[in-house]
Amino acid sequence: MVSALNVIDVSRVTPSDSPEPFTLSLTFFDLLWYKLHPVQRVIFYRLADATRPFFDSVIVPNLKSSLSSSLSHYLPLAGKLVWDSLDKKPSLKYSQNDAVSFTVAESNAEFSLLTGNKPFPTTELYPLVPELQVSDESASAVSFQVTLFPNQGFCIGVTAHHAVLDGKTTTMFLKFWANTCKRQQDQTVNASVSQDLIPIYDRTVIKAPGDIETKIMNQLNSFFKMVSGGKEPENPRSLKILPSQELSPDVVRFTLDLTREDIQTLRERLKRESSASSLPKELRLSTFVVTFSYVLTCLIRARGGDPNRPVGYGFAVDCRSLLDPPVPSNYFGNCVSASLGMPLTAETFMGEEGFLSAARMVSDSVEGLDETVALKLPEIMGAFMSSLPPGAQLLSVAGSTRFGVYGLDFGWGKPQRVVIVSIDQGEAISMAEGRDGNGGVEIGFSLKKHEMESLIDLLHQGLKS
């Protein structure tokens, strides 16, 4: 039975101060995403006191008033992406009376199923994320939804336009909002917010090589033409998002909680295998390298099929610390590039040394990161578009163990579960730090039911060996 959602209210939340109009240009990092699928997150909070009266009189008013206050510090989020006729690229504009959409709803879904460790239909998550208002002429930056699960808890759904903010900026804003909401309830409103949560809008900190924006726009136009079957777009300035991938009804969600001990077990296994195979250099066995390599190997094996089938991997790279001079960590906007491993064949990962092969490649990818990963963005986009044939298995990562999403306490405790819903759009996994803060990693998967069953077996087998 599909759960039912009752929408109680849809309103607009404006910044608490009414400032002057504000325009923010898009950098070459932002342009990459201006027509791509938004990022959708759901943050679940367990709360037995979450009755409808408490929800209506305490939770919702506190969330709305603290959101209004927070938007005053994050004005672009209340604005819209537009593409003026005289401009070469879209920009982000805030005008007085602009607002974010805020939906209030109630669900009869089983909270413990959505936050637990057993597979469940991914369709259960979609009613919990709000729509982003997008047309040919404009696109909202973010929208929010808070949903009650009576006497079980509530969740906050966030849909964010990726051309406006990356994962680092999104979580920076969510921390600011959570901090504000908690202080409001604790009546410590005068306590200052940490300076690293105050956004910097100075676009001059991003040093763009002369023609990189033109190259990226050309690559994007080629990509848009390719996905529309070779046809030129009717409106080249349209801000409409590309069509979403059709979701199969048998796709399920599963979250794996790897403990610090699990990761150490996998690390020791790689050390044994690498010394036995006399690799020319020592592997960089960071938590990310170990975890991603393990998951990558299990996912490719779970799909099975022709050993010669093409596969690849990619992961986002935060360029803030890689650029020279470094970009401040509280810079508002996108500052991510990507590292790709492709084209490869499934056979590489299916053999006895598949996990070690994956770790060697991912380790080399991480070791090779420097400032050029940002400047090579057009070439990386070109490689992504041309290296793998349609239908190839390309595995990517959303989220990061460095974002600290389990520290998002709005005044009702830390989250029970944080889910990135949008990994359904492509072959992606999600990553976050473990909820208990003890050095573990949480990995979210979205796969067809039969493939998920194979994957879960492989994941658990590998931790025993």
Q: Would you name the residues annotated as active-site residues? A: 162, 409
Contacts of 118 by beta carbon, 8 Å cutoff, 6+ apart = 254
φ, ψ dihedrals at 200, nearest 5°: -110, 125
The DSSP code for 74 is: -
The token duo for 387 is 């290296």
Which residue is associated with the tokens 């909680």? 257
CA distance 256 to 417: 12
CB distance 75 to 118 below 8 Å? no
The token pair at 439 is 């050095």
* Angstrom distance (rounded) from CA 290 to CA 141: 35
| 372 in Cβ contact with 289 (< 8 Å) | no
Alpha carbon distance 252, 265 (integer Å) = 28
Measured distance CA(74)–CA(67) in Å, rounded: 10
Q: Are 357 and 348 in contact (CB under 8 A)?
A: yes
CB atoms within 10 A of CB 249: 9
